[in-house]
Amino acid sequence: MRFYLHNEKKSYNYNTHKKKDCHKIVYNDERKNMKNLFLTTVAVFGLTGAVYAAEVTGSVELEFAQSSDSTYGMTPTLELGFGTAIADGVVGTASITMEDNVISGYAIGTTFGKFGLSVGEQDDLFVGGYEGNTLADPTSADFSVIATVGDAQFLVGLANPESDLGDVENVQGAYTVAMGAKLAVSASVDYNVDTEDYVLGAAFTGYPVGPVDLGATVTYGDIFAYEATVSKGGVTAFVGGDENEFAQEVGVGYETTVGGLTVGTKSVYNLDTDELAPSLTVAMKF
């Protein structure tokens, strides 16, 4: 998951070589009010579910990774999703994410057939890679509205939703289509209203070539960047770079299921700094 939960405005970053998804929301009074409203909504979903059997899904994840001072630490992540029928064919939804015991994302919304709408501090729509450090990473507003129409999604990021709903920070569009059992192709675009910059992205995964599956993600803002993967039997090898340096990092990851737990390990080697960054993830879904 990717959350961009800070107030600094910028268009995109390249080659950050940092662990993603570690941002935490610092709530001012208005944000606390929004959080309380959301938690109240979740409570209502829970009470409604006691009567109407709301569907609850979620996951618990522990990630062990090396920090910037070369020590190792653990980051727990909890995700919960709620869905309950509120009318014929209409489903109300709510979700919340906590990272390191701090709320890092939330959303409420509704779905009707192939149409959907969600509001909150939620993932953006821009394509991402297997590791993604070399790719363009456009910053989306903390708070956004996402509309879904079939395989297409549209995002409007609001800079100050508490005081000015017309203050749009960025807009995004994305389209994903499944082509067979494994192959999926995605495209996305981000437009920053303040800087008037566009960032483009495209990706495919699960393209079979003999015994392996190929994948690739490319982005273009100021420069072209890429990441390519080769996967087989739970093992994924990857390389990433850009137009100035073809190979900036390489790595390999492995994921398997053990007794209902999803266990994954990954090692990323930075060719510029000669640094190796290993990590271990253990997750349970319910």
Q: Tell me: the pLDDT tens digits for 220-262?
A: 999 999 999 999 999 999 999 999 999 999 999 999 999 989 9
What is the pLDDT at residue 121?
A: 94
What is the pLDDT at residue 93?
A: 92
pLDDT per residue as tens digits for the range 66-106: 876 778 899 999 999 988 888 888 999 999 999 988 888 99
Statement: residue 13 has pLDDT above 50: no
Structure tokens given for 276: 């190796």
Are 64 and 72 in contact, with CB atoms under 8 Å apart?
Answer: yes
Statement: residue 44 has pLDDT above 90: no
d(C-alpha 97, C-alpha 116), whole Å: 20
199 domain residue, yes or no = no
Statement: residue 214 has pLDDT above 50: yes
What is the pLDDT at residue 85?
A: 87
209 domain residue, yes or no = no
What is the pLDDT at residue 43?
A: 54
What is the pLDDT at residue 77?
A: 94
171 domain residue, yes or no = no
d(C-alpha 228, C-alpha 284), whole Å: 28
Task: Give residue 21's region: left, alpha or beta (phi > 0; psi -120 to 50).
Answer: left
What is the pLDDT at residue 15?
A: 37
203 domain residue, yes or no = no
253 domain residue, yes or no = no
Are 123 and 232 in contact, with CB atoms under 8 Å apart?
Answer: no
Tell me what percent of the residues of the chain surpass a pLDDT of 70: 80
**Residue among 8, 21, 247 at smallest CA distance from 134:** 247
What is the pLDDT at residue 36?
A: 54
- Amino acid present at 273: T
161 domain residue, yes or no = no
What is the pLDDT at residue 31?
A: 53
pLDDT per residue as tens digits for the range 149-191: 999 999 999 999 988 889 999 999 999 999 988 899 999 999 9
Structure tokens given for 263: 């266990």
What's the total number of domains in the chain? 1
DSSP state, residue 32: H
104 domain residue, yes or no = yes
Structure tokens given for 280: 């271990």
d(C-alpha 56, C-alpha 73), whole Å: 30
d(C-alpha 246, C-alpha 227), whole Å: 10
What is the pLDDT at residue 224?
A: 97
163 domain residue, yes or no = no
d(C-alpha 129, C-alpha 229), whole Å: 9
Tell me what percent of the residues of the chain surpass a pLDDT of 90: 67
d(C-alpha 76, C-alpha 100), whole Å: 5
Statement: residue 40 has pLDDT above 60: no
Statement: residue 2 has pLDDT above 50: no
What is the pLDDT at residue 12?
A: 36
Which domain range does residue 27 map to?
1-7+22-123
Task: Give residue 113's region: left, alpha or beta (phi > 0; psi -120 to 50).
Answer: left
What is the pLDDT at residue 181?
A: 85
What is the pLDDT at residue 55?
A: 86
Statement: residue 54 has pLDDT above 60: yes
d(C-alpha 222, C-alpha 12), whole Å: 9
What is the pLDDT at residue 244?
A: 95
Helices (H), the chain: 29-52
| β pairing state of 164-179 and 183-192 | antiparallel
What is the pLDDT at residue 53?
A: 56
Instruction: Give the mean pLDDT of 187-204.
Output: 97
- Provide the strand spans (E) within the chain: 12-13, 55-66, 72-87, 90-99, 102-112, 115-121, 137-138, 143-149, 152-160, 164-179, 183-192, 197-209, 212-220, 224-232, 235-242, 249-258, 261-270, 275-285
pLDDT mean across residues, the chain: 84
